[in-house]
Structure 1
Amino acid sequence: MDRLVLKRLLRGLWVVLATSILLLAIYLLLPLLYPLLLAWLLAYIMHPLVLILKGFKLPSWLAVSLALLFYIGGITLVLTAMITRLVKELIVLLQTLNLHTDQWKDLLMSLSQNASIQNIINQINQFYRDNPDYHATIDSNISRTTETVGYAVTQVVTGFFNVILKLISALPSMGTILIVVVLAAFFISTSWERHNDKLTGWLPTAFLKPVSDIWRDLRRALSGYLRAQVILISITAIIVVIGLLLLGVKSAFAIGLMIGFVDLLPYLGVGIVMLPWALYSYMTDNLALGIGLSILYAVILITRQVLEPKVLASSIGLDPLAMLIGMFAGLQLFGMLGLIIGPVVLVVLVAFNRAGVFRALHSYIVSGRLR
């Protein structure tokens, strides 16, 4: 083998090995260090306010304490108000669904007595009589399909209640973690400059600029991604809430908030809820609600199509198709949590590319130099 090719192969293997070791270290250490990372992130977010408060000649500990009180108190108040309102409207929504049970039963009975449905049933019975050999096969397939659907529904319901139970059982540990995060954020923030100087002192001088470039692009990309999602979800939720209030729908706030979160699924999110709802309204002769929901869905769809490319492009510079692929890949690898992990990993890779990390690695493998 040519000596140059051998050197490039060895450098490539070294890059793969170093990357694998780094990812393994992150995987093993993240469960232990994530409270510290959350604390550093909280201190980073508070830092501008801390600097403003220090400008009023306040002691460092007092400025940090006031900043912590402002952020944590504000988040607690907002979450408490939202959860309280959401629980109230969910109770009303469940009561409304219970009232519609008899209506759904009557709808199914009327559909089963429909002439077209009866004609289809008669044709199926005639097919059974004419082809008795297929009877057992069809019944077996229908039975298996019913069992599969029933199992899937059972798994979804069981999974939902398991998540609720896990959240309730995790509350004590979450409280402990919150205390650790707040205390660590306080100590990090009171000595922000000293900790940053110590951290940069650990890095070789040659790595300071690349790391700084990566952090700058990564910060811009991740904050842009979060800002874009918050903007799009908020716009969708506001439009849905206003539309449902105009249509006189109860629990408009809860439904709008849930549809806003479902809107995390690009192109499909709102339609998963709005289209079946509108179809059901037409089937139950509630034409006014059905037409209103159809118009509302069209407004949301047009608004998303107009704003989404602009918001994503201006915030993170990613094509919506790439974002969809990232969400699908994350869903396949990590489940529902992958809907968040996938796009974040994609954003990180794009930030690394913009910072020239991949070009530097390619240059190292080819020539033995990072640049």
Structure 2
Amino acid sequence: MDLNQTEKRRKFIIDIVYFAIILCLVFLFLKYAVSWIMPFLLGFLIALMFRPLIKAVSGATRMNKKFCAFVIVLLGYTLLGFLLWLLGNALFQSLKDFCLNLPSLYTNEIGPALGTANQNILDFAKRFSPDIADQVGKTLSDMLDGIQSSLGELSAKGLSALAGASTKLPLMLISLIFTILSSLFISIDYDNVLSFIKRQIPEKRMAILTDVRDYLGKTLASYARAYLILMGITFIELSVGLLALRVNNALGIAAGIAVADALPVLGTGTILIPWTLIALLQQRYYLALGLILLYLIVTVIRHFIEPKVVGDQLGLPPIVTIICIYLGFVWFGVLGAILFPVTMNIIICLHRAGKIHIWK
């Protein structure tokens, strides 16, 4: 009896250590090694995305499949590069102009508005005590000086950051070139590349990878559906709020903010918070109060319903979803918060299908 218990405990400890080592290796691979082979992984994924179009065009035109792959991938990159160049150039110029004009913007717009607000606060303080008014005036004066110097530093740092980003362009350009070349050559020789990869994987593992591919497609579709639902809810909330505040083109603005909210890193705060500050400087206090309340309502509702909506679409319990989002964000940032629930859903699907056995 004691020997059986000892053997069970020993097996349990060995299993725990084994899975811990596997998790550590996966973590280290995702954290460090992936960046080294990222251009080739992206190249393979891009080739995979172009594959259905290449097959369709090749079948319809009876064109040589390799030549068809070359033409389609090249045209796709040309179009994408042109669009990215237009967008990047416009964004760079906007940031540059903003940084250059920030000091004059403070002098002409922000400074006078803050001065008016300063005077209003002083007038209000004088009703209670001249001593309080003097102290408040000194504090506000120090704050204004601090804001002015901070904006000057921000302008200089912004230009410095743009210059620093430009120094990283050669490395980014090299990675981009290798990504384009790898996707082009993989698309041209896709069947041979895929056949080579399959030959390196045991048949049993290949069956699991096929299941992973199928589950990944279904999971990504469910994930997209979940965020479309969240985007729709956010759009409705923003539309109602902006219409109540009598904002011009409320529906168009709500749609733009809802799209920004669905994107990684961005969110409703990237638009509503600066808008609130501008409204305060313009002394439109009703609009500023409404916008900040709208931001709080949208944010609270979003954080409350997101685990439920995503969990329902993926088939995960809300508590598992929120744990996956949190751990993914802590370990790998915004991208991890998106991909970790997807990975967990695939693992659960494989476990339920009996392909792998992790828990009871």
5 Å-filtered alignment, 1:185-200, equals: 185-200=183-198
Cα displacement (A) at 1:106: 2.3
Within 2, Cα distance between the matches of 1:323 and 1:11?
25
Range moving further from structure 2, 180-189 or 44-53:
180-189
Report the equivalent of 1:107.
Answer: 116
Q: Does the C-alpha gap of structure 1 residues 78 and 289 become closer, same or farther in structure 2, counting only changes over 3 Å?
A: farther
Whether the 8 Å contact between 2:44 and 2:183 is mirrored in structure 1 is yes
Within 1, Cα distance between the matches of 2:229 and 2:91?
20
Where 1:114 maps in the other structure, the secondary structure is helix
Report the equivalent of 1:221.
Answer: 219
Q: Does the C-alpha gap of structure 1 residues 162 and 282 become closer, same or farther in structure 2, counting only changes over 3 Å?
A: closer
Identity over aligned residues, as a percent? 19
Whether the 8 Å contact between 1:233 and 1:263 is mirrored in structure 2 is yes
C-alpha deviations, 1:27-71, integer Å up to 9, x for none? 453232111101001101100111012111112232112221332
Whether the 8 Å contact between 2:264 and 2:335 is mirrored in structure 1 is no
Report the equivalent of 2:169.
Answer: 171
Gaps of 5+ in 2: none
Where 1:184 maps in the other structure, the secondary structure is helix
Report the equivalent of 1:82.
Answer: 87
Report the equivalent of 1:32.
Answer: 36
Within 2, Cα distance between the matches of 1:286 and 1:176?
49
Aligned residues: CA RMSD: 5.3
Within 2, Cα distance between the matches of 1:331 and 1:314?
20
Cα displacement (A) at 1:86: 4.5
Report the equivalent of 1:348.
Answer: 343
5 Å-filtered alignment, 1:34-49, equals: 34-49=38-53
Cα displacement (A) at 1:176: 1.8
Q: Does the C-alpha gap of structure 1 residues 227 and 290 become closer, same or farther in structure 2, counting only changes over 3 Å?
A: same
5 Å-filtered alignment, 1:311-350, equals: 312=310, 316-317=314-315, 326=324, 328-333=326-331, 338-350=333-345
Cα displacement (A) at 1:16: 2.6
Q: Does the C-alpha gap of structure 1 residues 45 and 264 become closer, same or farther in structure 2, counting only changes over 3 Å?
A: closer
Report the equivalent of 2:21.
Answer: 17
Q: Structure 2 length as normaliser, TM-score?
A: 0.68
Range moving further from structure 2, 74-83 or 274-283:
274-283
Within 2, Cα distance between the matches of 1:154 and 1:207?
59
Letter in structure 1 aligned against 2:212: I
Letter in structure 1 aligned against 2:209: V
**Aligned pair count?**
337
Of the three residues 76, 94, 98, the one matched with 1:71 is 76
Within 1, Cα distance between the matches of 2:224 and 2:158?
26
Whether the 8 Å contact between 2:327 and 2:337 is mirrored in structure 1 is yes
Cα displacement (A) at 1:11: 3.3
5 Å-filtered alignment, 1:1-371, equals: 2-55=6-59, 56-86=61-91, 91=97, 97-98=105-106, 99-116=108-125, 119=128, 122=131, 164-222=162-220, 224-225=222-223, 247=247, 260-261=259-260, 264=263, 269-271=267-269, 273-274=271-272, 277-278=275-276, 281=279, 284-286=282-284, 290=288, 312=310, 316-317=314-315, 326=324, 328-333=326-331, 338-356=333-351, 360-362=356-358
Report the equivalent of 1:134.
Answer: none
Letter in structure 1 aligned against 2:48: Y
Cα displacement (A) at 1:350: 2.2
Whether the 8 Å contact between 1:222 and 1:347 is mirrored in structure 2 is yes
Cα displacement (A) at 1:25: 4.3
Whether the 8 Å contact between 2:216 and 2:346 is mirrored in structure 1 is yes
Range moving further from structure 2, 272-281 or 165-174:
272-281
Task: Pick 1 or 2: higher relative contact order, CA cutoff 8 A, min separation 6.
Answer: 1
Gaps of 5+ in 1: 127-138, 144-148, 367-371
C-alpha deviations, 1:293-325, integer Å up to 9, x for none? 579869977997999689746764567876666
